[in-house]
Amino acid sequence: MKWPPELRSKPRDELVKILNRSKWELEVQRMEDSVRSQSRLVVGINASSLFHDRGRGIAVPLRKRLHRLHERLQGVQMSSFALRHSFQRAINDKTRVIVTTRAVSGKAEIGSLLGTVKHQYSPRLNFEATASMIRVHFVMMRARYQGEEGTYVVQTSLSPSFEPAFPPITITHSRRLFRDSMTQGILICHTGNHPHFSINIVSPHRFGAKSDPFYADGEESQTKLGSWTGFGTGVRQWSCGINLAGLGTTLRVEWGLVFPELAAQASLAMQLSLAGPGWVVTGAWGDDHTGVTTTIGFNAAGVELTLNLSYFGQRLVLPIVLAENGDMALGCLAATLPSAVFMLTYYFVLKPRRRKQRAEFYRQARRELVEERSNIHREIEETTMLLKETARKHTQAEKNKEGLVILEASYGPTDPDPEAKDLVVDVTVAIQALVHKSQLYIPGERPKSGLQGFYDPAPSCAKCLCIRYKFRGRMHYCEIPDYKPVVLPLGDHLVEPVL
């Protein structure tokens, strides 16, 4: 068995904890895969009475204000209730069966029972069919094909209650618009009693160190510590589109940010229709098992706050009506509160926790380095002694012709954390020995810790090679990520202006 580098030198008790944790996660995953059970409870709350005529009556006596507050609290009531529960079972590697029960308050259909069959015909083609077994009978069919040029989805429903003879059909087509970009175009066409046609463009862009195209997959797999703040890497996304639906035609624009290190994301969507403008602010925090999502929606019909809580497939949704009219001030206030809660949580909980984890990581790396230093340091010293004479000759030759002279070279973590400063390795001699005819080239796609005179001071941490050198008598400086090729000299490295 090939152990990851970060586990090879851990203490036995810590290794046992990690293995037990992995075993528990695999067991939970196995149980979920065997019988996946999911529940969704939606409880609608009308709390508009709390904010009715707010700001009035400030000069009213305290007793009367308390009486008004009591009346407003009594006005809060449950407006809707819906429960949905489903479980699925795999028949074989390609076919799954899902049974869903639903109960909705205030509807003629008090309950319903749905059965769904999903079949993966091939890696690119799958089918899905859902049938209602009680009360309103209908069958919904869906096919999805994912090809090299794009994805096609066709969906239709069959029911004896449909008035037109031809059933409604929804066709969706999405594909990448450019080879060098993740920008996607999405077309949706729906026929039926309320036909509509929509065009959407979605463009995600990665940012941070891992977005550099010169980073190989190996670099990303090793960078497990993350950025200093948690906001250093992620995905920013924008989308825009138009939905042509007669009087219901809308224009929509959305911006979003995803921070995987914090398991958080936020988005702002704005739309314009004949009914007026509207916007939706969404914030989410959590992983695949647990999470919290808040959504603030504003339009001419009112202001609504939706809380979505999930825990291992069990979901609680609380749509709360704050106003039954377009109250812009209340909408802005409602959008500000979740953001303030997240920032307070970040500064007082997440940020200290990340600092503690990073400090412990680097302390452990220093301990491992001290434990292995006796053998590693002896090998590095022997290698450096062998390279010293070669490096001295190269340096003298380059100085005589004002060529490439390495003044200083270091190899270590890219993290600016002060805890990482003791994990930097001096590789000046090793780099100077590689200079040939005033040029230096080191191929990429491999860690530089494998070069002569190098060693890895901090496994599982992104590293870079920092070189300060002179060429033609002028000072140059560069910082090169671990998996990026080294090419010296380059004009971009010049730090002294040309006179």
Full residue range of the structural domain in which residue 128 is found: 36-356
Q: What is the pLDDT of residue 365?
A: 75
Tell me if 30 is assigned to some domain: no
Token digits for 462?
């992104």
Q: What is the pLDDT of residue 135?
A: 65
Tell me if 237 is assigned to some domain: yes
Same structural domain for residues 459 and 336?
A: no
Same structural domain for residues 397 and 338?
A: no
Same structural domain for residues 439 and 342?
A: no
- What pTM was estimated for this model as a whole? 0.74
Same structural domain for residues 56 and 112?
A: yes
Q: What is the pLDDT of residue 177?
A: 92
HEC secondary structure over 118-177: EEECCCCEEEEEEEECCCCCCEEEEEEEECCCCEEEEEEEECCCCCCCCCCEEEEEEEEC
Same structural domain for residues 99 and 194?
A: yes
Task: State which of 356, 388, 422 marks the end of a domain.
Answer: 356
Same structural domain for residues 307 and 437?
A: no
Q: What is the pLDDT of residue 221?
A: 41
Tell me if 21 is assigned to some domain: no
For residue 280, the domain's CATH number is 2.40.160
Tell me if 56 is assigned to some domain: yes
Tell me if 9 is assigned to some domain: no
Q: What is the pLDDT of residue 262?
A: 87
Task: State which of 356, 389, 419 marks the end of a domain.
Answer: 356
* Distance from C-alpha of 405 to C-alpha of 475, rounded to nearest angstrom: 10
Work out how many domains the chain is built from and give that number: 2
Tell me if 144 is assigned to some domain: yes
Same structural domain for residues 270 and 229?
A: yes
Q: What is the pLDDT of residue 200?
A: 97
- Taking only the tens of pLDDT, the chain with its 499 residues reads 555 555 555 666 777 777 787 777 777 666 666 557 789 999 999 998 888 765 555 556 777 778 778 888 888 888 888 999 998 888 888 999 999 998 888 655 556 889 999 999 999 999 999 998 776 678 999 999 998 889 999 999 887 766 656 789 999 999 999 888 899 999 999 998 889 999 999 999 998 754 444 344 444 444 456 677 888 889 999 999 999 998 889 999 999 999 988 889 999 999 999 888 999 999 998 887 789 999 999 988 889 999 999 988 899 999 999 988 878 888 888 888 888 888 898 889 888 888 888 888 788 777 776 666 556 667 777 777 888 888 888 888 888 888 999 999 999 888 777 777 778 888 999 998 888 888 999 988 788 888 888 888 877 778 889 999 999 889 999 999 888 899 999 988 998 665 4
Tell me if 102 is assigned to some domain: yes
Same structural domain for residues 259 and 181?
A: yes
Same structural domain for residues 320 and 209?
A: yes
Task: State which of 311, 326, 356 marks the end of a domain.
Answer: 356
Same structural domain for residues 71 and 172?
A: yes
Tell me if 217 is assigned to some domain: yes
Same structural domain for residues 342 and 218?
A: yes
Q: What is the pLDDT of residue 222?
A: 43
Q: What is the pLDDT of residue 117?
A: 95
Same structural domain for residues 327 and 246?
A: yes
* Distance from C-alpha of 189 to C-alpha of 172, rounded to nearest angstrom: 7
